[in-house]
Amino acid sequence: MNRKSWRAAAVTGVVVAMTAATAILWQGTSNAASTLGASAAERGRYFGTAIAGSRLSDSQYTTIANREFNMITAENEMKLDATEPNQNQFSFGSGDQIVNWATGNGKRVRGHTLAWHSQQPGWMQRMEGSSLRQAMLNHVTRVATNYRGKIYAWDVVNEAFADGASGARRDSNLQRTGNDWIEAAFRAARSADPNAKLCYNDYNTDNWSHAKTQAVYRMVQDFKSRGVPIDCVGFQAHFNSGNPVPSNYHTTLQNFADLGVDVQITELDIEGSGSSQADQYRGIVQACQAVARCTGITVWGVRDSDSWRASGTPLLFNGSGQKKAAYDAVLAQLNTGQPTNPSPSSPGPSTSPTTDPGGGGCTATYSEGQKWNDRFNGQVTVTGSSNWIVTVTVGSPQRITATWNVSATWDSSGNVMTGRPNGNGDTFGFTIQHGGNWTWPTLSCRTA
């Protein structure tokens, strides 16, 4: 339903009926979830974190990251200096390590970033003009091609606008190749990976009245009107006392979404502590929940000690890996959410009920959950044993991208999930990114 007919429906009262139906459906499927990723996924969004490859050997770090988050951004490993250290010599090992960790644990990946004035390799820093333009486009193409099919959304261009009141583009060697460098990068990224969402990502774009926010808004508006392939806008959301969460944050997100793009909070951290920090985090989650096209939130690191500005203790876990007040506030706020993302205009067919025959001493029954354009939720109820092992097999090109109330492991293909109880009863759920295949998964149940 487009916005006009949505409004028309509201006038005729259809909305009231639909809302009631949704509420009834929701009562049947929604429990307060116990992790950020699960709570967000049950309600149609993701909750992510940035991962540093160097910390993947720290088991406290990976335990928290694996438990709480279902979207992963490489903090530095997919940037230009990491992926093309010498011109035309690409290096994907560090980025692959993070992508493999994420997909091996049933999580999706945000790609960060293809074109940026910062963290360029030395050879690129020394380039200008048409040779730089060509090198940039080659970089976008090669990196996006390498990760084709594995990236949910790419930060195609990062931080291209100046701070302050000018509303101008940031001066950089890329900008000096011509004002159309940004749209050229988006077109190259679309050709290389047609299924990834393509985002423009920036900071200091949170306050609707700031010149930088307005300038980015006008660029996105212009891109949409001319058919430049842009799907989303990332709001980095690095806050501190000098740059607090603005009271018009929701307005900013909504206005961008109204241009016809998804909005995502991509690098959230808020310096501070205690209830003041917790309140600001809650406000951000609330603002995202209030915008149907706000598809997810990523925090920029796991523990305070992992942060790029550790002394500001800006994250949700302290240096010992314990949940902070800010964590509790975020989880509680996520748990209040309703599934507000747009449902598909032509949802896939409902397959006939999938029930394991129960030969293994237990029976697993599938029921359908919410559907969105790119994904759907499913739920499995096990009877006959509380000590079950359920395998869930999805068909190509489906991926399970989030789970809740289950302890999950994956086979090497990523198509077969083995689930065991995680202490939350005998009903669990998952999100399937369907890639056009709406078929329900196959289930089998045995006792442990």
| Residue 267: active-site member | yes
Q: Compute the least distance from the CB of residue 76 to ligand 9MR, in Å.
A: 5
Nearest residue (CB) to ligand 9MR, 164 versus 178: 164
Tokens of 10: 């509201």
Looking at the Cβ atoms of 317 and 430, the one nearer to ligand 9MR is 317
CB of 127 to ligand 9MR, least distance (A): 19
Q: How far is the CB of 25 from ligand 9MR (least distance, A)?
A: 39
Residue among 183, 267, 271, 368 flagged as catalytic: 267
Chosen residue from 193, 262, 267, 374 binding ligand 9MR by CB under 6 A: 267
Q: Does 76 bind ligand 9MR (CB under 6 A)?
A: yes
Chain residue whose CB lies nearest ligand 9MR: 308
CA 432/CA 351 separation, integer angstroms: 14
Question: Is 77 an interacting residue with respect to ligand 9MR (CB under 6 A)?
Answer: no
- The size of the interface with ligand 9MR (CB under 6 A), counted in residues, is 8
174, 137 in Cβ contact below 8 A?
A: no
CA distance 264 to 399: 21
Q: How far is the CB of 61 from ligand 9MR (least distance, A)?
A: 15
Residue number, 239 or 440, with CB nearest to ligand 9MR: 239
What does the alpha-carbon distance between residue 122 and residue 194 come to, in Å, rounded to a whole number? 30
Nearer to ligand 9MR, 193 or 267 (CB): 267
SS (H, E, C) the chain: CCHHHHHHHHHHCHHHHHHHHHHHHHHHHCCCCCCHHHHHHHCCCEEEEEECHHHCCCHHHHHHHHHHCCEEEECCCCCHHHHCCECCECCCHHHHHHHHHHHHCCCEEEEEEEEECCCCCHHHHCCCHHHHHHHHHHHHHHHHHHCCCCCCEEEEEECCECCCCCCCECCCCCHHHCCCHHHHHHHHHHHHCCCCEEEEEECCCCCCCCHHHHHHHHHHHHHHHHCCCCCEEEECCEEECCECCCCCHHHHHHHHHCCCCEEEEEEEEECCCHHHHHHHHHHHHHHHHCCCCEEEEEECCCEHHHCCCHHHCCCCECCCCCECHHHHHHHHHHHCCCCCCCCCCCCCCCCCCCECCCCECCEEEEEEEEECCCEEEEEEEEECCCCEEEEEECCCCCEEEEEECCEEEECCCCCEEEEECCCCCCEEEEEEECCCCCCCCEEEEEEC
Interface with ligand 9MR (CB under 6 A), residue from 236, 289, 298, 431? 236
Query: Which residue's CB is nearer to ligand 9MR, number 76 or number 405?
Result: 76
123 is a site residue for ligand 9MR (CB under 6 A): no
CB of 381 to ligand 9MR, least distance (A): 42
Q: Enumerate residues 90-119 that contact ligand 9MR by CB under 6 A.
A: 118-119
* Residue 189, both tokens: 């990224």
In the complex, minimum distance from the CB of residue 19 to ligand 9MR, in angstroms, rounded to a whole number: 38
Minimum distance of ligand 9MR from residue 112's CB (angstroms):
6
Q: Of residues 68, 75, 183, 304, which one binds ligand 9MR by CB under 6 A?
A: 75
Pick between residue 240 and residue 437 the one whose CB is nearest to ligand 9MR: 240
Write the interaction track for ligand 9MR spanning residues 191-230; mark x where CB under 6 A is met and - where it is not. Answer: ------------x---------------------------
Candidate list 308, 340, 344, 355; residue touching ligand 9MR; CB under 6 A: 308
Q: Is 141 exposed, middle or buried (0-12, 13-18, 19+ CB in 10 A)?
A: middle
CB of 115 to ligand 9MR, least distance (A): 13
The residue (of 77 and 183) whose beta carbon lies closer to ligand 9MR is 77
CB of 201 to ligand 9MR, least distance (A): 8
Q: Which residues bind ligand 9MR (CB under 6 A)?
A: 75-76, 118-119, 203, 236, 267, 308
Show which residues are catalytic: 267
